Amino acid sequence: MFGKLKQYALKKVLESQMKDAPPEQRQMILEMVEKDPTLFEKIAKEMQEELKRNGNNQMAAAMKVLPKFQQEIMKVMSPEMKEKLVQMQTGAQGKFNPNGTIRK
């Protein structure tokens, strides 16, 4: 019983934290957290420790902690998620010309 309640609460917290993220990224993250919540609990704990050490710089904490878990995160991702991730990364790059102008 408490497992489902905890999962629901975690989902609501994540949704509020990611309100500015694109919908496809939010969905991807929520699916991964649902698949392996203990992995993301470990990541959150390490990030909290790092935030305390670095004076609440979230970006620096994420840049230091997330690479440690990259392989585990990739294992949680479905093939469809991996494909979407590649599309998001190449899509952002594909919108600009080498000189910095926007492609049409």
pLDDT at 103 over 70: no
Report residue 67's pLDDT band, with 50, 70 and 90 as the boundaries.
very high
Considering only CA atoms, which of 11, 78, 25, 68 is closest in space to residue 43?
68
How far apart (Å, rounded) are the C-alpha atoms in residues 55 and 25?
27
Half-sphere exposure of 87 (CA within 13 A, CB side): 8
What is residue 101's three-state secondary structure? coil
Is the Cβ–Cβ distance between 5 and 16 less than 8 Å? Answer: no
What is the per-residue pLDDT across 46-56, written as a single tens digit (0 to 9) for each? 999 998 887 87
Least confident of 44-48, 64-68, 72-76, 87-91: 87-91
